[in-house]
């Protein structure tokens, strides 16, 4: 079995059908990731719908969990459409009330596009680190072309109990820095891309108890589906590819990544 630790099926037309398809592909659980107030609300809603269906006797769906977060692209959103709204959702959906909420994020820094000014991104990231700590939730980090500032803010703020770098694209040196902080590294379909040897080396370097897999669907479909719409049903392709990179059996690698995901996100 596999766990897709990062997907966006709540933004798609039929998230339950995508969830059913993933279950047929041996996906035991998936995590719907929020990127702004509206998508965070949808993520919580889809996870709650699937949770109710399973409690009602459905046997064709994976476990489903949610996160709430403000992506760096949206870091300049004001008030209840931005950080205030994310903080409000955190209060409403604290783990003791909504069991499917497992993390704050994705949040972080993106200097490649810089759709929001760097200062706004840094403030939003720092505040969401605090939200994760206040609510004892995992922190899901998006970082692109901003490694030094990402590490600086994490060190200044102090990491939550559990932190994951989603869609890790760094080399072994960056992997080592993240692992030294106690973080988990999550690898997407990018690890299968022809020119991604640095990511493969980082995956080879990462200990099994800190390695997660994800799809980031509907983006970044793995080979042989590159360029097509991604889906959580493809997460096993990512897992099987990394298992070969690490010279492990599929079962050994699957068991390890499921255990790491359960630990990282405190999944029930």
d(CA 213, CA 236): 9
Helix axes 83-92, 37-55, angle to 10 degrees: 20
Reference 187, options 260, 131, 247; nearest CA is 260
pLDDT tens digit sequence for 174-230: 999 999 999 999 999 999 999 999 999 999 999 999 999 999 999 999 999 999 999
Q: Which phi and psi angles does 211 have, rounded to 5°? A: -110, 125
d(CA 104, CA 208): 23
Give the strand order in the sheet containing 63-68.
2-7, 27-32, 63-68, 101-110, 138-144, 163-165, 184-187, 211-213
Helices (H), the chain: 15-24, 37-55, 83-92, 118-134, 147-157, 172-180, 197-205, 235-245, 250-265
Give me the number of domains the chain comprises. 1
3-class SS of residue 249: coil
pLDDT, one tens digit per residue, over 119-142 is 999 999 999 999 999 999 999 999
Output the average pLDDT for the chain: 96
Domain of residue 237, residue span: 2-265
**What CATH number did the domain enclosing 41 receive?**
3.20.20.140
Structure tokens at 140: 């899901």
Rounded to a whole number of angstroms, the distance between the first and last alpha carbons of the chain is 16
Dihedral sign for Cα 20, 4, 11, 224, please. negative
For residues 132 and 103, the answer to whether their CB atoms sit within 8 Å is yes
Q: What's the chain's Rg over C-alpha atoms?
A: 17
- 157: exposed, middle or buried (C-beta count within 10 Å: 0-12, 13-18, 19+)? middle
Is the confidence at residue 96, as pLDDT, over 80? no
Helix, strand, coil tally for the chain in percent (to 5): 50, 15, 35
pLDDT at 99: 75
- Per residue in 20-55, pLDDT (tens digit) is 999 999 999 999 999 999 999 999 999 999 999 999
């Amino acid at each position: 079995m596999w766990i897709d630790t990062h997907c966006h099926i709540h933004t798609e037309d039929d998230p339950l059908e995508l969830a059913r398809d993933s279950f047929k592909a041996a996906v035991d659980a998936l995590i719907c990731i929020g990127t702004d107030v509206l998508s965070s609300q949808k993520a919580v809603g889809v996870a709650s719908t699937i949770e109710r269906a399973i409690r009602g006797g459905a046997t064709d769906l994976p476990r489903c969990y949610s996160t709430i977060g403000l992506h760096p692209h949206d870091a300049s959103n004001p008030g209840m459409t931005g950080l205030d709204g994310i903080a409000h959702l955190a209060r409403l959906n604290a783990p003791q009330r909504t069991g499917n909420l497992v993390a704050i994020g994705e949040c972080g820094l993106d200097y490649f596009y810089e759709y929001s000014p760097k200062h706004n991104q840094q403030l939003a990231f720092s505040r969401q680190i605090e939200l994760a700590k206040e609510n004892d939730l995992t922190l899901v980090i998006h970082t692109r072309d901003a490694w030094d500032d990402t590490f600086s803010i994490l060190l200044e703020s102090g990491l939550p109990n559990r932190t994951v770098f989603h869609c890790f694209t760094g080399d072994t040196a960056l992997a080592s820095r993240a692992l030294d902080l106690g973080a988990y590294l999550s690898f997407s379909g990018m690890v299968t891309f022809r020119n991604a040897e640095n990511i493969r080396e980082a995956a080879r370097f990462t200990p099994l108890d800190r390695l997660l897999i994800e799809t980031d669907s509907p983006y970044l479909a793995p080979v042989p589906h590159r360029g097509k719409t991604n889906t959580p049903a493809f997460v096993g392709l990512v897992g099987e590819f990394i298992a070969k990179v690490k010279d492990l059996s599929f079962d050994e690698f699957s068991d390890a990544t499921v255990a790491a995901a359960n630990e990282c996100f405190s999944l029930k």
